[in-house]
């Protein structure tokens, strides 16, 4: 960018030189200036130099064009002045000396800006030598009065000092500008490189995202297919189980020992069928939550009623009620929710509390409201969760190290977290080995899940201090 600006500026300078030459030649001819011939020749040389500079710029050689312009102009200027001064006595030498300094300041600026360092130094040296020579051979030998001679001496001393300061300051400033330009160019190149890398990474991320979406869709279809394929033989086996139990109950000719053995085997088979059916149901539920798009049914329901139905189903399936419900939701309160997901979360927490507690211990459930929503608290007094296992608690298929022989799939808490995440809620829990477990599920009052955001990754939930 800086080089392009310099090239345009040098082209403008060359055009100004050409225009100045044309104007100056007309002026020389008009006023019939002394030494008109050498003056016209010198101006023509200046014009040719400007044209050559433009041509060199046109082929893309900026520094060479600056070198040619600065060197040619300074040599022509000083050569012409010395030549005219040596051959013409009608000139006013002090006036010409002042003009030399004025032109040299302009030429020095051109050399500093557009020429190389060594060429700018040569131009400066030519100027110094030219002024010294002009002073020694023209001003000293001219018939000048004392006052004019003093002015000539002052011109040489102060003029050379001014040119020297101009040269040093100009070189320093240009060096600073070029360094700043290089740093800017380096920064720009690095920025472009970073942008290209970001574009490449973004492209790769899009490809990976598409691939991940494809894999998730394949996973979803595979799990659904396998789970549904399990359903058919499970249904067949359950039907056979029912018929065998019926046949066993209606058969009077079987001996007691045979009947007891057959009943024991059927009970074992029924237990295995229950476990396998529950596993298939939980895998299907987890798969549904993780890939849920528009199938969620959000309704304005009373959280107390939804949880109360879940608690009632547990108590109805047992000889005595072991799940105690405390409903602190005020009448008329309703929240936006997917009732199926809320029931699944509550069922898994209550089921775990019952499984990992003694038969005489109760599970306490409380439904409550909060300033920004509502919540469910499930407390059991069972074996608890070891602290070393709590970081992996919500990972699918993970089971704590102290579950013993209690059957389970390791999917219950994963389903709880997915259900809470879908509602943009959060989970708190505190537990200790042999000291029971307390879970708190916090739900917002209104949920607006989108199709892209409904499927959430599992994020480990940090337990609160017991």
Lowest-confidence segment of 112-121, 340-349, 371-380 by average pLDDT: 112-121
CA torsion angle 129 135 140 146 (round to 10): -150
Which residue among 107, 127, 143 closes a domain?
143
Lowest-confidence segment of 25-39, 91-105, 166-180, 440-454 by average pLDDT: 440-454
In percent, the amount of the chain with pLDDT more than 90 equals 14
Q: What is the Cβ-side half-sphere exposure of residue 318, based on CA atoms within 13 angstroms?
A: 15
CA torsion angle 280 282 284 289 (round to 10): -170
Lowest-confidence segment of 64-68, 242-246, 310-314, 404-408 by average pLDDT: 242-246
292, 455 Cβ separation under 8 angstroms: yes
Q: Which tens digits make up the pLDDT trace of 318-360?
A: 887 889 999 999 988 999 998 889 999 999 999 999 988 877 8
DSSP 423-458: TT-EEEEEE-TTS-EEEEEEEES-----TTTSS---
pTM (2 decimals)?
0.47
What is the extent of the structural domain holding 314?
295-444
Q: Which tens digits make up the pLDDT trace of 253-262?
A: 666 676 667 7
In percent, the amount of the chain with pLDDT more than 70 equals 77
Q: Is the pLDDT of residue 13 over 50?
A: yes
Residue 440 lies in a domain: yes
34: left (phi over 0), alpha (psi -120 to 50) or beta: beta
Q: Is the pLDDT of residue 437 over 90?
A: yes
Distance CA 100, CA 108 (A): 12
350, 323 Cβ separation under 8 angstroms: yes
Residue 129 lies in a domain: yes
Residue 359 lies in a domain: yes
- Look at residue 464 in the predicted model and tell me its pLDDT: 40
CA torsion angle 94 99 102 106 (round to 10): -150
CATH number at residue 335: 3.30.565.10
Distance CA 98, CA 450 (A): 82
Distance CA 75, CA 82 (A): 11
Distance CA 49, CA 67 (A): 11
Q: Is the pLDDT of residue 363 over 90?
A: yes
Mean pLDDT comparison of 134-148, 196-210, 303-317, highest-scoring range:
303-317
Residue 375 lies in a domain: yes
Residue 200 lies in a domain: no
- Look at residue 458 in the predicted model and tell me its pLDDT: 33
Q: What is the mean pLDDT of residues 214-231?
A: 62
Q: Is the pLDDT of residue 109 over 80?
A: yes
Closest CA to 356 of 427, 285, 431: 431
Average pLDDT, the chain: 79
Q: Which tens digits make up the pLDDT trace of 282-308?
A: 666 766 666 664 445 788 999 999 999
Instruction: Tell me the pairing of strands 373-380 and 437-444.
Output: antiparallel
* pLDDT bucket at 71, cuts 50 / 70 / 90: confident
Residue 194 lies in a domain: no
Task: List all residues 6 or more positions away from 172 whose beta carbon is below 8 Å from its beta carbon.
Answer: none
CA torsion angle 243 249 254 259 (round to 10): 90
Distance CA 4, CA 60 (A): 10
Residue 18 lies in a domain: yes
CA torsion angle 333 334 335 337 (round to 10): 140
The pair phi, psi for residue 403, each rounded to 5°, is -75, -20
Lowest-confidence segment of 66-70, 245-249, 331-335, 360-364 by average pLDDT: 245-249
DSSP 20-41: HHHHHHHHHHHHT-TTHHHHHH
Q: What is the mean pLDDT of residues 87-103?
A: 70
Residue 382 lies in a domain: yes
Per the structure block, which two tokens stand in for 25? 């030649």
- Look at residue 373 in the predicted model and tell me its pLDDT: 92
What is the 3-state secondary structure of 212-265? HHHHHHHHHHHHHHHHHHHHHHHHHHHHHHHHHHHHHHHCCCCCHHHHHHHHHH
Q: How many domains does the chain fold into?
A: 2
Looking at per-residue pLDDT, the higher value among 324 and 10 belongs to: 324
Q: What is the mean pLDDT of residues 34-62?
A: 80
Looking at per-residue pLDDT, the higher value among 233 and 136 belongs to: 136
343, 304 Cβ separation under 8 angstroms: no
Distance CA 109, CA 13 (A): 11
Closest CA to 337 of 423, 414, 415: 423
Instruction: Tell me the pairing of strands 323-327 and 426-431.
Output: unpaired
């Amino acid at each position: 960018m800086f080089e392009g600006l310099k090239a345009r500026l040098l082209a403008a300078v060359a055009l100004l030189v050409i225009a100045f030459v044309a104007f100056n030649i007309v002026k020389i001819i008009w006023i019939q200036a002394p030494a008109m011939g050498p003056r016209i020749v010198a101006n023509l040389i200046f014009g040719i130099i400007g044209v050559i500079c433009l041509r060199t710029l046109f082929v893309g050689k900026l520094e060479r064009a600056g070198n040619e312009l600065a060197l040619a102009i300074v040599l022509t200027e000083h050569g012409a002045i010395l030549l005219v001064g040596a051959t013409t006595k009608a000139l006013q030498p002090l006036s010409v000396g002042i003009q030399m300094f004025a032109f040299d300041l302009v030429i020095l600026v051109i050399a500093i800006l557009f020429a190389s360092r060594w060429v700018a130094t040569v131009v400066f040296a030519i100027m110094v030598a030219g002024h010294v020579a002009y002073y020694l051979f023209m001003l000293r030998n001219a018939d000048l009065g004392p006052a004019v001679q003093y002015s000539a001496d002052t011109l040489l001393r102060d003029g050379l000092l001014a040119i020297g300061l101009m040269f040093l300051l100009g070189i320093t400033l240009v060096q600073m500008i070029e360094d700043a330009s290089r740093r800017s160019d380096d920064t720009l190149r690095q920025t472009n490189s970073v942008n290209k890398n970001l574009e490449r990474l973004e492209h790769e991320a899009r490809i990976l995202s598409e691939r991940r979406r494809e894999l998730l869709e394949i996973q979803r279809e595979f799990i659904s297919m396998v789970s549904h394929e399990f359903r058919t033989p499970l249904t067949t086996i359950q039907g056979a189980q029912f018929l065998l139990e019926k046949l066993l109950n209606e058969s009077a000719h079987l001996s007691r020992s045979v009947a007891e053995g057959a009943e024991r085997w059927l009970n074992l088979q029924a237990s295995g069928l229950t476990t396998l059916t529950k596993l298939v149901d939980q895998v299907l539920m987890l798969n549904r939550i993780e890939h849920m798009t528009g199938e969620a049914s959000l309704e304005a329901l009373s959280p107390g009623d939804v949880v109360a139905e879940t608690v009632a189903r547990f108590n109805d399936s047992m000889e005595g009620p072991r799940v105690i419900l405390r409903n602190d939701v005020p009448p008329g309160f309703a929240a936006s929710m997917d009732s199926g997901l809320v029931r699944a979360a509550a069922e898994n927490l209550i089921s775990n509390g019952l499984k990992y507690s003694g038969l005489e211990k109760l599970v306490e459930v409380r439904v409550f409201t909060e300033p920004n929503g509502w919540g469910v608290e499930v407390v059991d007094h069972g074996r608890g969760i070891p602290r070393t296992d709590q970081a992996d608690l919500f990972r699918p298929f993970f089971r704590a190290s102290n579950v013993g022989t209690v059957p389970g799939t390791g999917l219950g808490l994963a389903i709880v977290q997915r259900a809470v995440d879908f509602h943009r809620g959060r989970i708190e829990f505190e537990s200790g080995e042999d000291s029971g477990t307390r879970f708190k599920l916090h739900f917002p009052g209104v949920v607006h899940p989108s199709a892209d955001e409904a499927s959430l990754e599992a994020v480990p939930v940090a337990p609160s201090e017991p």
